[in-house]
Amino acid sequence: MSLSVDFGLATPPRPQTRQNRTPTEQEMFDLELQRIDHDRFNLPYATHLIGSSVAGIRKVITQKYEDTKHGTQYLKFSNVPPSIASNYISKGCRQSYDASSRILIITIPGRIHDSAAPHFAFALQTAIVEANLEDETQATGSGRVKGNMCYKEPDGSWIPSTPPPTDDTWPSVVAEVAYSESSRRLHLDASWWLANSQGEVKVVILIFVDQERANITFESIINSQPIITLRNGRPRFQPVTRQKIEVSRPPGGSTMPVSCVPAEPLHVSCEELLRRAPVPPETDADIPVQSLIKVATKIWNIQHV
């Protein structure tokens, strides 16, 4: 069962065409990608700067690291040439770059953001091993992926081992974390992965960490099923929430009981991970409730909530 969620995506205007002809599906698809990229790079709360050199950008990042105690920091650099944006500018940061607007977004994750991603990755990797899929998948972490108009680096990603992956291989499963980010921001990230990969990314797992309370939500986003294929062969882009699992604990510390609602595993199918049907003894890499609770508890220990 899929849930209805506002992904922050307005209905796109019809593109201007000569003689008011009906736009092609390709034109509508390209406009959809442009709109997603525009919304993702529209960060009014980011620090706006000019990115004239790699050294200058790195200096600003170093100065901003102190602010991550208040949550994830965003730096928005304008007028950045591709020769600068193509660099891996700072270890531990995430980069997104739009060549058409020459805007570079640097995300500086705080300690809590950075702890959530590996704890979840360990839980999923454990499920992958138990599903007999360890030899068939590879964890690719924050590996950079180039989309239609810009590139992006996730908080976690996994790809099939067969065929042998290349630098252009899209992950099949992606994880994105939000600590100080808005829900709309993370849903736009999910939309970017599903739309730009043209069906290669099968599921995006969003992890929302509440800043004040012991509350973490795991949400899986997929393309609506069954997937509708357009006349040009592209899948129709239509993100929906498949699961939304909330793990929480009332005030009072680690002795208080932890609840998981609904009390069900986070589903990641073999077909989604490998982009093929399972071959026995392969099964689905579902993350059990106790593993989700363990992930949440480890994050809360760092948050001191």
CA 143 to CA 173: how far, in whole Å? 12
- Domain stops at, among 73, 108, 143: 108
Domain end (from 70, 92, 108) = 108
Q: What is the CATH number of the domain that holds 137?
A: 3.90.1570
Q: How many CB atoms lie within 10 A of CB 241?
A: 18
Whether 177 and 273 map to the same domain: the answer is yes
The whole-number average pLDDT for the span 56-82 is 82
d(CA 292, CA 161): 26
As for how many domains the chain has, the answer is 2
Give the CA-trace dihedral at 87, 89, 90, 93, to 10 degrees: -80
Structural domain boundaries, residue 70: 42-108
* Residue 13 within any structural domain of the chain: no
Same domain, 90 and 143: no
| Any domain includes 3 | no
Same structural domain for residues 178 and 297?
yes
The domain boundary, picked from 108, 124, 153, lies at 108
Tell me which residue has tokens 């909530």. Answer: 305
Same domain for 184 and 261, yes or no, is: yes
| pLDDT per residue as tens digits for the range 185-216 | 889 999 999 989 988 999 999 999 999 999 99
Location of structure tokens 């480890």: 298
Burial of 150 (0-12, 13-18, 19+ CB in 10 A): buried
Supply the Cα-derived Rg of the chain in whole angstroms.
20
Is residue 19's pLDDT more than 80? no
- Whether 236 is in a domain gets the answer yes
Q: Can you read off the two tokens belonging to residue 120? A: 């979840």
Residue 283: inside a domain: yes
Task: Clarify whether residues 220 and 240 are in a common domain.
Answer: yes
Share of the chain above pLDDT 90, in %: 49
Residue 95 domain-assigned (yes or no): yes
Residue 26 lies in a domain: no
pLDDT band with cut points at 50, 70 and 90 for residue 12: very low
In a domain, 237, yes or no: yes
